[in-house]
Structures are given as structure tokens and as C-alpha cells.
Amino acid sequence: MTQHPVQNLLITGGCGFIGSNFVRYWLTEHPHSRVVVYDKLTYAGRKENLADLWDDARLQLVVGDIGDQALVRGTCQQQSIDLIVNFAAETHVDQSILGPLVFTDTNVRGTHVLLEVARELGIRLHHISTDEVYGHIRDDHQSVEADALAPRSPYAASKAAADQLVQAYAITYNLPVTITRGANNVGPYQYPEKAVPLFSTNAILGEAIPIYGDGLQMRDYAHVYDHCTGIETVLLRGEIGEVYNVGTGREMTNLEMVDIVLASLGKSHDLIRHVTDRPGHDRRYSMNVDKLKTLGWQPKYDPKEAVAEAAKWYAEHRAWWEPIRSGAFREYYEKQYAERLAGTAQ
């Protein structure tokens, strides 16, 4: 099996949810590596996510936009980067419906800039993608890496476009690339606009939990730790030019997920409110992860364990999320849910 040595990483979006968890994991497991976090520090990218690591001499922060080609290039040259891992993205579907253009700018153009820098400097690039690029999946199928992409939201479309740019650069320029497509991740430091931290923090505060439609949408909830180990596996042993799905291969309904959150926190189902569904809400995501398993990877967490552990983390870390749930977050929440929640009280 091919081994890919990695020494100096540029991790874009390294102050975000998955990115910060990956930085933490990589520095723990690879003590001789150096990591440069490149992050714009938008609302979901927070230095606090790595607060205990900034004194580590192996870690450095560069604040910048991945669309700034000169800064990306200069950083890679100055830091002798041999691998770019691209977590940087706008990722929330609801936000992409409210304001889609920033998703195209960051997720498509930003990825394109990284590809250009990688091509100019001869650097390998690993791109983090999502199961949402496959679109709604019929009940008798699990998405495999060779399936056609069929995105149905502005967010998913922007990620699918980025995937295809990455693959085009591999073919056209022989650029060494790999892609991982992750399931719905849960775990520490996830911004509370996403379902599990939103429902967990609402439950902790005794606020209503807004469930889109009937709540029977199917999702694979994977612990972010397993996503990190999956990415690591691909970086070290994956086939250059290939795509790998990362998830558990098992799914649950959103209502089942909420049941786990409430049980973990000792909260009542009376908090649940069914609200008007969002446009184009995909009914089911499910991925086959056998290809990644051929590299020796296995998930550590069952989806139920992953959701329960995440909910408990938010109960134990109120000091992290309480300051977030004001200002811009509150404005978004009111815009997205106030009208939907009106008149749903039990």
C-alpha cells in the first residue's frame, strides 16, 4: 500500500468545526509535523476552537481569504508547505438559501485559487467535500464514489462544482489530489446553527426545537473524530486522484436524532415543534464507505453514540456556545425560524 509522507500542512478553514478538530487530532498523532492554519475567521471560524494549542511551536495562524491568491502562494512558499488540506467553506444549507452568492465565491472560486497555487508550486491538495453533492438518495441505494453528482441546494451545488474542479485539475495538469466526502458530522466546537448543536443548546435553554416537516429525513450522523481519522487514512494511504466517502454507512431519521439529544440531556419531548420544511430539503443521504475501509479504516463511533456524546459536550461547555447565541446568530435564527415557530406552541 502506498505511503505518502507529510511534513508541513496548510489547513484552510482550520478554525472551523471540522478543521479545528482535525488540527487537534493531527498534531496529537503526528508530533513531527508542522501545521499552518489559514482561516478568514468568519462567524463560524473561531480562534477559541484551538485556544489551548496556540502556544505550540508546531502551529501557526495566518488570517486570510482563500481567494487571496498572492497570500496563499506566499504562505505556502514561506512555510515550505507540501500538502494543502482544504476545509475552508461556507457550509450551512439554510444560509445558502438566504444568501447563495458567498457560497459560490468561497466554495468554488476559493477552491479554484487553491488549485492554481498548488499547480504553480507543485503541492498536493486534499479537498474536503460532502455527501450532499450526491443529492437525494433512493431508499434502496447507498452513494458510491463513482455516482453522478446531483446537488439540490446552492450549498451542495457549490461543493459539487468544487469537486469537479479538483478532478479536472488532476486530469488536465496531473495535479496530485484526493477528495473525501463526509457525512453529517457531529462533535465538539460545531457552530450552533447546525442541527445537533442547535437542538442541544435550545434544549439546554428550554427553548423550542424546530423540526423541519415530519422529521423523517434520513441522515448519517458521524462523529467528527471518525471523519478526522478517515481523512488521515486518505492522506497517508489513499490513491492519488481518488474520491473516498467518509461516514458510518448507517443512518437515522432526524426525529430519532432529536430523541437521542433529549434523552442525553434529560429534557422533555414537549420542546419539539414541527415547522414548515425548507425548499428542496433532501429526504435521504446514505453513503457506502467500503472503499475507505479497504485502506484499513474503521469508524470508532456508532451514530447514536456520536449524537449522544455531542449533546453532552454542549451541556458541559456552555461557556463556549453561550456568547455565540447572540448578535449575528440570533438575527439568523429569528429570520429562519421565528415565522415558522409562530403558532406551533403546544
pLDDT of 328? 83
Task: Specify if 341 maps to a domain.
Answer: no
Residues ≥6 apart with Cβ < 8 Å to 171: none
Alpha-carbon distance of 12 to 7, in angstroms, equals: 16
Evaluate whether 117 touches 74 at the Cβ level (below 8 Å). no
Per-residue cell: 331: 438575527
CATH number where 161 lies: 3.40.50.720
Alpha-carbon distance of 160 to 210, in angstroms, equals: 28
Structural domain boundaries enclosing 169:
8-184+222-246
Task: Specify if 167 maps to a domain.
Answer: yes
Q: How many CA atoms lie within 13 A of 292 on its CB side?
A: 30
Task: Specify if 215 maps to a domain.
Answer: no
> Could you tell me how many residues make up the chain?
346
Q: Is 244 considered catalytic here? A: no
Model confidence pLDDT, tens digit, residues 79-114? 999 999 999 998 888 888 888 998 999 999 999 999
Model confidence pLDDT, tens digit, residues 277-335? 988 898 999 999 999 999 999 999 999 999 999 999 999 999 999 999 987 889 889 98
Per-residue cell: 47: 480562534
Longest dimension (CA), the chain: 60
List 38, 134, 155, 169, catalytic entry: 155
Alpha-carbon distance of 235 to 38, in angstroms, equals: 19
Task: Specify if 214 maps to a domain.
Answer: no
Model confidence pLDDT, tens digit, residues 221-242? 999 999 999 999 999 999 999 9
Tell me the pLDDT band of 4, cut-offs 50, 70 and 90: confident
List 39, 65, 90, 131, catalytic entry: 131
DSSP symbol at 278: P
Model confidence pLDDT, tens digit, residues 149-158? 999 999 999 9
Our measurement of the distance from residue 54's CA atom to the centroid of its chain's CA atoms, rounded to an integer in Å, reads: 22
Q: Which of 273, 246, 280 lies closest to 96 in space, CA to CA?
A: 280
Q: Which of 15, 185, 152 lies closest to 87 in space, CA to CA?
A: 15
Our measurement of the distance from residue 175's CA atom to the centroid of its chain's CA atoms, rounded to an integer in Å, reads: 24
Q: Is 131 considered catalytic here? A: yes
Q: Compute the C-alpha angle 82/155/313, nearest 5°.
A: 75
Task: Specify if 271 maps to a domain.
Answer: no
> How many domains is the chain built from?
1
List 39, 90, 132, 145, catalytic entry: 132
Q: Is 65 considered catalytic here? A: no
Alpha-carbon distances of 263 from 89, 238, 252, 297, 309, rounded to whole Å = 32, 39, 16, 30, 11
Alpha-carbon distance of 326 to 27, in angstroms, equals: 32
